[in-house]
Structure formats: structure tokens, C-alpha cells
Amino acid sequence: MSLFPSEESQRLDAADPLASYRLRFSIPKMPDGTDTLYLCGNSLGLQSKDGIDALHAVVKDWAELGIEGYFTGDNPWVDYGTELRESEARLVGAKPLEVAVMNSLTVNLNLLLLSFYRPTPERHKIIIEDHTFPSDQYAFREQIRFHGFDPETSLVVLKPRPGEDWHRTEDILETIAKEGAETALVMMGGVNYYTGQFFDIATITKAGHDEGCTVGWDLAHAAGNLPLQLHDWNVDFAAWCHYKYLNSGPAAPGGAFV
């Protein structure tokens, strides 16, 4: 017996004030042509029809203006970096001068780690959550090795309690307090890609700062998905992508906050 009858689902769909937004995206069909319910936006967001129109306009400018497209036309390319700051800042709760659209998520993450992970013999640990995204794990391990330390002793992995999938905030704070004196960086995902848990960014950031740690966040699964206030939460740095919940398409540039 279904705990949520299909009639109730249909009623909620009919009352959804955002239902019309579905029409603004191209939704793939099954090989036999039947419609799909697309639940993969956490990996690659759907193609925006408005986005395609904007892309065609840029390509048209390229064809008609050539190099002059950097400085002329309706949207000169040279201004993209500064013009995107306003919307990007609103997206993550930051000031425009605190954000940049550039590179990819992993490139930005490594650049930020080079600047913010400054280990010493006394403080060399990085605290991360269990099931951190694999490419993040590679970056953390390589940064630790780059500075001459061993990931086996310098990487602290937060684990949920036995029989539980989500991390309790009090357990995270307890680990930060316990390991804080030897920790250079607390680096977590705003939303864990494996469980969907949205971490208490403000509380965890404050706990890290109280122990003298730098605190950074991978917001790949949070940006465009949940409300963020990076400036008010006193986050040190963050990185994210735009091809998941922001529907910018594969190979789109990433975002960074400092």
C-alpha cells in the first residue's frame, strides 16, 4: 500500500506555483519517445531554453563582430567577469567583490587550497566529512603530500554514528574541538552529495574559527539549491560549479568566494 497515493501527488503537482518553470527547460525522452521524470539535476542540470537563446546570440556576435565582440554589441564579452558578480553574489550571499566566475570547481578548489591550507608541524590536519566527493578527496590528499605531510595522519574524516547516515552537528563540533589544536583547515561540502545532508555552515564555521582553523566549503550541491549567506556566516573561502542546480551545461566555469 502506498503511503502517498498518486492522487495526492497529482493534486500537489496541480497546485505547484512553480510548475510552469518546467516548460522553460528541454527534458530528454526515453529511447522509445516516452516522457521522463528527470531526477539527475544533482549531476547535470537540464538545458535552459532561455540559455540556448542567449548562447545563440553570443555565437551570432562572434560571427558578425569577430574580435570586436569583446568591446561592442549588446553584451561585450570583456565585461562578463564583472557583470556576473552581482548575480553570483546574490546567489551565495556575498558581496560582489568577494566572488568570481572562473575556471572549474576542482581548479578553483586547488587554487584556494594553495592559498588557505598553510600547514605547520603543529597544525597540519584537514577535517572533512565522510563520503566527500572523490575529486575533493584527491585534492586534499595531494595538497597534504605537497606540503610534506601524510594523508593517513593529516586527514581527519568525520564519521556518522553507527547505524546512522547523517552527521550530527554536535559530533562535528566535538571533533573540531578535539582536533582543533592540530588542524589547519576544516573543509566540508555544504550539502553532502552522497546523503543530501545540508550542514549547518554558520555553526561549523564558527566552531572552526574558535579553534583557530581556516574554514572552507565546497558548495557544488548547495549553490542554486539552498539559501546561502557566506559573508554573514564569516566563511573564509568556498568554491562551486554551475552545471548542476544552476543549469549552465557541461564545461561551464565555476565560482569562487573569498
Residue 113 in contact with residue 139, Cβ under 8 Å? yes
- Do residues 126 and 132 touch, judged by C-beta distance below 8 A? no
Q: What pTM was computed for the model?
A: 0.92
CATH of 84-257, one of 3.40.50.10310, 3.40.640.10, 2.160.10.10, 2.60.40.1120: 3.40.640.10
Cα–Cα distances (Å) from 246 to 73, 96, 175, 179, 200, in that order, read 26, 18, 33, 35, 22
pLDDT cut 70: percent of the chain above it? 99
Residue 210 confidence (pLDDT) above 70: yes
Which of 3-17, 74-88, 90-104, 127-141 shows the lowest mean pLDDT across its residues?
Answer: 3-17
Distance CA 126, CA 80 (A): 35
Residues 6+ apart with CB under 8 A from 67: none
Q: Which three cell numbers stand for residue 121?
A: 608541524
What average pLDDT score do residues 7-23 get? Answer: 91
Residues near 204 by Cβ (< 8 Å), separated by ≥ 6? 169, 172, 173, 176, 186, 188, 215
User: pLDDT tens for residues 104-141?
Assistant: 999 999 999 999 999 999 999 999 999 999 999 999 99
Q: To the nearest whole number, what is the mean pLDDT of the chain? A: 95
Q: CB-based contacts of 208: which residues, under 8 Å, 6+ apart? A: 127, 176, 180, 183, 186, 214, 215
The residues of the chain that CATH labels 3.40.640.10 are: 84-257
What would the pLDDT profile of 190-200 be if each residue is shown by its tens digit?
A: 999 999 999 99
